[in-house]
Amino acid sequence: MSKTCGGPDARRAGPVGWVGRTGTLTTQYSVQEVAPGTEAESGHGSRRAPRKHRMLRWSATTLAVLILAVAGTGYLYYRHLNSNIEQDDLNLGDNKVAEPTPNAAGQTPLNILIIGSDARDNEENQKLGGAKETFGSTPLADVQMLLHLSADRSNLSVVSMPRDTLVKIPKCTDPDDGKVYAASNGRAMTNQSLGHGGPGCTVATWQELTGIHIDHFMMVDFSGVVSMADAIGGVPVCVDANIHSRDSQGHGSGLKLEKGTTSIKGEQALQWLRTRYGFEDGSDLARAKAQHMYMNSMVRELRANATLSSPNKLRKLAEQATRAITVDSGLGTVKKLYDLSNELRKVEPERITMTTMPNRYVGARVEPTEDAEQLFRLVREDIALDGKDAKKATAEKAEAASDDQAAAKDEIGVLVQNGTRTGTLAAAGGRASTVAALLVEKGYDKAVSDRTGSLSEATTLVRYPSAELEGDAQSVAKSLGIPMSSVKKSTDVSGVTLVVGADWREGTTYKAPKQDDATPKTAEALNGADDTACMHVNPGFTWS
């Protein structure tokens, strides 16, 4: 991992402050850039019972950026905070995923992958994480959550992936020493991706599985969780019975709470986020639910009161936040993190939806289900998981014919790509050639197949790079029965490009799938405004 000092020049703007109870947070000075208790099981090769895939903990860092601000008094302190921030490469894989098409207002969604590392690489992490036999071993990405901020900034969706999800880890190259990690032979647990060169390989793995373009990542370890939770202050959580997460064999996080609501912070917050033994059935799905409750409660707490109104508290938060995280270069300065916080802060709690990737057992591991692909599609297409999206004003426009007149069919060049590969299925052989031949039969004499490799695209799309080719792209779509809503402008192509998606793996007749935009029930959605949520305690872990 490389540590990069934020060197851009900066200047102070005028003094500002916290405004009442509206959730508006600023600092004494805003900065502008001018120029440039322990779990006994470790998860490292140990045997596990079915459904005991363990997610460890989620960090308060995830949504703490909602209140991150520069609490310093000038340029030197600003540089000091920047020097705290660890940076690493965003994507270590070879394949890229196209950025989403902007909406009518020119806005695009923002996708941030949150990674919780189980690294036990120092005494503090060892003390907090236990499992002495794993000291200094290759870290695992034991918490993985994708934050999706909608293009219009009206809603936020979170998708958690169980750490034991079986996926294909792509080839990744370590940016520090150039070591190449070959693609996994078959499927491997997703948490192993972190050890293939760094967080950028976890990003590449997510993009390969979901087809979602990821803009940034943020990573934190055990000690980072504790320091951030201390800086933020108490967060109320609820259990429906007294709980002590510890069994006769020493398994458990050590969390001990009385029935009802308790405000937790610091190491106790880490225990809550790591607890599996004692919550519901003892699985990682229960642990993810507890993490979602904590996140939602934290956001509500920060919006409801001004606990960070003093300069000293703000300074402490800025110090701890910048020391706790590793990010990509796109978030590598305090200014960039603060700008991100302003974007996230626009979303009200009632428009935040927490989910877990739907999955099924494969032995003691899990794999994504069809419902998972539905969830991924909703994120890809920027559809709110709470079902409260206003009708898209651009929908009718997307279906309308272009003002650009199409050229004659035999003059339109079309590149056909095979995008039928999915997270669970290999690409269907010969699809690009088959569809290119079909287009030639229909009069598109310049249609050719792309033989450079397969892509992953859930639905069949026609892409074009500029307005003067929109009519040509729509002509191709119309000839094949592809809806106009699937004709997209994209700077990732140089001409009209047809991507044969996973919804057209066979045959020569395309049938557009009926779209169900409802969030699958198996995603266990939790609304951010639900302050009645309370974790169920397993009777075997209660006390009196």
In the Cβ-directed half-sphere of 143, how many Cα atoms lie within 13 Å? 32
Tokens 């750490």, residue located: 163
Helix 266-274 to helix 284-304 angle, to the nearest 10 degrees?
A: 140
Burial class (CB in 10 A: 0-12, 13-18, 19+), 179: exposed
C-alpha distances (whole Å) from 156 to each of 65, 255, 261, 290 are: 14, 29, 26, 18
Look at residue 412 in the predicted model and tell me its pLDDT: 97
In the three-class reduction of DSSP (H, G, I as helix; E, B as strand; rest coil), residue 311 is classed as helix
Q: What is the pLDDT of residue 472?
A: 96
DSSP string computed for 55-86: -----THHHHTTS-----SSHHHHHHHHHH-E
Q: Is 110 exposed, middle or buried (0-12, 13-18, 19+ CB in 10 A)?
A: buried
* Alpha carbon distance, N-terminus to C-terminus of the chain: 47
SS (H, E, C) 183-194: CCCCCEEHHHHH
Q: Are strands 497-501 and 413-419 parallel, antiparallel or unpaired?
A: parallel
As a whole number of angstroms, the distance between CA 471 and CA 501 comes to 21
Q: How far apart are CA 243 and CA 279, in angstroms?
A: 9
| Residue 416 · residue 432 · CB < 8 Å | yes
What CA–CA distance (Å, rounded) separates 535 from 89? 37
So what's the pLDDT on residue 89?
A: 97
- Helix H, strand E, coil C: the string for 429-447 is CCHHHHHHHHHHHCCCCEE
Give the per-residue pLDDT at 103.
84
The pair phi, psi for residue 88, each rounded to 5°, is -150, 165
Secondary structure class of 535 (helix, strand, coil)? strand
DSSP string, 142-205: EEEEEEEE-TTSS-EEEEE--TTBEE-PPPEE-TTT-PEEPPPSS-EEGGGGGGTTSHHHHHHH
Q: How many CA atoms lie within 13 A of 154 on its CB side?
A: 11
* pTM (2 d.p.): 0.71
For the chain, how big is the Rg over CA atoms in Å? 24
The tens place of each residue's pLDDT in the chain, 544 residues long, gives: 444 444 333 333 333 332 332 333 333 333 344 333 343 333 333 334 443 333 333 334 443 443 333 333 456 778 889 999 999 999 999 988 888 888 888 899 999 999 988 764 545 444 444 444 444 578 889 889 999 999 999 999 999 999 889 999 999 999 999 999 999 999 999 999 999 999 999 999 999 999 899 999 999 876 777 777 777 778 899 999 999 999 999 889 999 999 999 999 988 988 998 898 999 988 888 888 999 999 999 888 877 765 455 677 677 777 877 888 899 999 999 999 889 988 998 999 999 999 999 999 898 889 999 899 899 999 999 999 999 987 554 443 445 556 678 999 999 999 999 999 987 789 999 999 999 999 999 999 999 999 887 788 889 999 999 989 999 999 999 999 999 989 988 888 999 999 999 999 999 999 988 778 999 999 999 999 999 999 999 999 999 8
Spatial separation of the C-alpha atoms in residues 252 and 130, rounded to whole Å: 11
Strands (E), 164-307: 166-167, 172-173, 180-181, 188-189, 216-220, 235-239, 243-244, 256-257, 260-264
B/e letters for 391-427, b = 16+ CB within 10 Å, e = fewer, are eeeeeeeeeeebebebeebeebbbbbbbbbbbbbeeb
pLDDT of residue 39: 39
The pLDDT value recorded for residue 402 is 61
DSSP code, position 456? B
Task: Please report the pLDDT score of residue 415 as a whole number.
Answer: 97
Helix (H, G, I), strand (E, B) or coil at 489: strand
Measure Cα distances from 434 to 80, 184, 417, 511 in Å: 58, 30, 11, 16
Determine the pLDDT at residue 226: 75
Predicted local distance difference test score (pLDDT) of residue 350: 96
Give the pLDDT score at 323: 85
413, β-bridge pairs: 446
Distance CA 201, CA 203 (A): 5
**What's the gap between Cα 422 and its chain centre?**
18
